[in-house]
Structure 1
Amino acid sequence: MDIVTVSPKFQVVIPKELRQSLNIQAGQKLRARIQGEHIELIPEQPMSAARGFLAGIETQVSREEDRV
């Protein structure tokens, strides 16, 4: 576990190993939330990252007028 220091401007530096393992880039947004007694930072993924996650899903929807 790495230790970071809070600057006088309340900033912290994410250690290089953690940035690399999560592929965090400069300017990327992180969601911050309190989890118990600690702070959790969650990388925000761009909408383009969701492309194709429903591959193979059935896209034909049965409509009421089709059942008549």
Structure 2
Amino acid sequence: MSSERPDREDFRRGMTVEIEQSNADNDRALRGEARNVFDDDSPKGAKVKLESGATGWVRRVVSEE
């Protein structure tokens, strides 16, 4: 995986990811487990829906240490 935002192919459902919310007024990242991956092709990267219901673009996959 590159240092840029991950592509849809870089992760799978159930992975813990950090997202930039698509409908948020602030720049705070949210972390959660990916439930759905959307097929839209955006320059912002892959868009997902978390188990919490929040949607946004994946900033990075969180390593599971």
Larger RCO: 1 or 2 (CA < 8 Å, sep 6+): 2
Q: Would the TM-score normalized by the shorter structure come out above 0.5?
A: no
TM-score (norm 1): 0.26
Q: Structure 2 length as normaliser, TM-score?
A: 0.26
Q: Which has the higher strand share?
A: 2
- Name the structure where helix makes up a greater proportion of residues: 1
